[in-house]
């Protein structure tokens, strides 16, 4: 029997966050844009007939107004969902008016999402369905690219690898270029990069490199639902982070697959573009209206929907305190 698609409700929250944040595009105020998105997302989530607990959030309770870990949202009394949220993924992209800022939420049954604990960074490898059996985070960059190319029936020189443009990736960039592949260097956008690697027709074949661990968990929900491949290993970037992980009992050599990162199939994922990106266009404004483009992915069925919406701003402003 058909059941409720929670992702369509979550999309309302990412739309609200994107519309609120879009007023800050290019204004150089990443804190202001993030705050506006957080407040809009919280307001919408609290209006929904569901109950969710933030397990991947933006901060702790004493750092309000961020969506903090442990916060309960929604007005339902039924099943508790784990929520991984990022009201603005790419706050610097938003502030500078650059390509690829999105608003994103992932939901999974209680206890099914990987808890990164004190880990802030992780090495990641993400590909689409055709190459999901070809990756091994323990293997070299050249070996992975060779196997990915074989799975995709391409030459290595035809592959495009998404890499965050960070000093820590200097050696990775050199190894990818030595292997012969092309690189898409982006300053930010970890979740968007993973989605670009798993979705068709984005021009990206694989994501490689170290990025945020929370963003890795968010991305894993979508990657698993779409049948892609992903591996992740904790990669602390400071001695304090390393010590905290070891003290908390984490194995820094362990490679986590999708089932460890997201243990359930009954998941929901929603993302809305804030600025233009490889698979979503950003918020656009017309006469008394705004236009958004979103993705909604349901793990139980593997269904991906792309939703275009026109929002009548005077109507929204009449019923909502959000500054649309």
129 is in an annotated binding site: no
Structural contact between residues 169 and 204, judged by C-beta atoms closer than 8 angstroms: no
Which residues, including other chains, have CB under 8 Å from residue 320's CB and lie 6 or more apart?
16, 43
The CATH number of the structural domain formed by 6-110+266-318 is 3.30.540.10
pLDDT tens sequence across 208-267? 999 999 999 999 999 999 999 999 999 999 999 999 999 999 999 999 999 999 999 999
pLDDT score at 61: 45
DSSP tag of 262: B
Q: In what order do the strands lie in the sheet with 206-212?
A: 182-186, 160-164, 206-212, 121-127, 229-234, 256-257
Structure tokens that stand for 20 in this block: 């609120």
215 is in an annotated binding site: yes
Confidence of residue 2 (pLDDT cuts 50, 70, 90): low
pLDDT score at 294: 98
Residue 14 has pLDDT above 80, yes or no: yes
Average pLDDT, the chain: 94
**Mean per-residue pLDDT, 54-59:** 83
**Mean per-residue pLDDT, 12-22:** 97
Residue 77 has pLDDT above 90, yes or no: no
Residue with tokens 């959030």: 57
pLDDT score at 323: 76
Element (H, E) at 233: strand 229-234
pLDDT tens sequence across 274-321? 999 989 999 999 888 999 999 999 999 999 999 999 999 888 888 888
pLDDT score at 314: 87
Rounded to 5°, the CA angle 79-83-89 comes to 160
Q: Is 263 exposed, middle or buried (0-12, 13-18, 19+ CB in 10 A)?
A: middle
189 is in an annotated binding site: yes
Top-tier CATH class for 121-261: alpha beta
**Mean per-residue pLDDT, 103-124:** 96
188 is in an annotated binding site: yes
pLDDT score at 63: 47
Closest CA to 242 of 120, 112, 126, 154: 120
Q: Model-level pTM?
A: 0.94
> What is the spatial distance between Cα 26 and Cα 189, in angstroms, rounded to a whole number?
16
167 is in an annotated binding site: yes
91 is in an annotated binding site: yes
pLDDT score at 317: 83
Q: How many CB atoms are located within 10 Å of the residue 259 CB?
A: 13
168 is in an annotated binding site: yes
Structural contact between residues 188 and 165, judged by C-beta atoms closer than 8 angstroms: no
Give the start-to-end residue ranges of the domains of the chain.
Answer: 6-110+266-318, 121-261
> What is the spatial distance between Cα 165 and Cα 223, in angstroms, rounded to a whole number?
22
DSSP tag of 140: -
Element (H, E) at 171: helix 170-179
Which residues, including other chains, have CB under 8 Å from residue 197's CB and lie 6 or more apart?
126, 127, 128, 162, 204, 205, 206, 207, 228
> What is the spatial distance between Cα 160 and Cα 278, in angstroms, rounded to a whole number?
13
Structural contact between residues 324 and 311, judged by C-beta atoms closer than 8 angstroms: yes
pLDDT score at 64: 46
β-strand pairing of 289-298 with 284-286: antiparallel
Confidence of residue 1 (pLDDT cuts 50, 70, 90): low
Residue 5 has pLDDT above 90, yes or no: no
Residue with tokens 């092309």: 182
Helix axes 213-225, 190-198, angle to 10 degrees: 20
86 is in an annotated binding site: yes
Confidence of residue 62 (pLDDT cuts 50, 70, 90): very low
Confidence of residue 60 (pLDDT cuts 50, 70, 90): low
């Amino acid at each position: 029997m058909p059941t409720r698609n929670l992702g369509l409700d979550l999309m309302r929250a990412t739309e609200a966050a994107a519309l609120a944040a879009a007023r800050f595009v290019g204004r150089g105020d990443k804190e202001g844009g993030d705050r506006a998105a957080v407040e809009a997302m919280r307001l919408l989530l609290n209006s929904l007939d569901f109950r969710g607990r933030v397990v991947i959030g933006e901060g702790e309770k004493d750092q309000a107004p961020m969506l903090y870990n442990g916060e309960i949202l929604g007005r339902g009394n039924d099943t508790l969902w784990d929520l991984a949220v990022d009201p603005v993924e790419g706050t610097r992209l938003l502030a500078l008016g650059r390509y690829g800022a999105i608003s994103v939420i992932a939901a999974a049954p209680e206890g099914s999402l990987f808890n990164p604990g004190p880990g802030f960074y992780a090495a990641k490898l993400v590909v689409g369905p055709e190459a999901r059996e070809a990756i091994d985070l323990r293997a070299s960059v050249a070996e992975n690219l060779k196997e990915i190319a074989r799975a995709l029936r391409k030459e290595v020189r035809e592959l495009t690898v998404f890499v965050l443009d960070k000093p820590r990736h200097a050696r990775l960039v050199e190894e990818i270029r030595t292997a012969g592949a092309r690189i898409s260097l982006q300053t930010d956008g970890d979740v968007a990069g993973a989605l670009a690697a798993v979705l068709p027709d984005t021009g990206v074949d694989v994501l490689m490199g170290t990025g945020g661990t929370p963003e890795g968990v968010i991305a894993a929900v979508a990657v698993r639902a779409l049948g892609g491949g992903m591996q992740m290993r904790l990669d602390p970037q400071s001695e304090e982070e390393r010590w905290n992980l070891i003290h908390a009992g984490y194995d820094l050599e362990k490679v986590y697959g999708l089932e460890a990162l997201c243990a359930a199939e009954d998941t929901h994922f929603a993302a809305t573009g804030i600025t233009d990106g490889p698979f979503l266009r950003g918020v656009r404004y017309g006469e008394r209206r705004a236009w958004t483009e979103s993705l909604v992915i349901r793990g139980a069925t593997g269904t991906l929907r792309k939703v275009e919406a026109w929002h009548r701003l005077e109507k929204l402003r009449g019923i909502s305190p959000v500054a649309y």
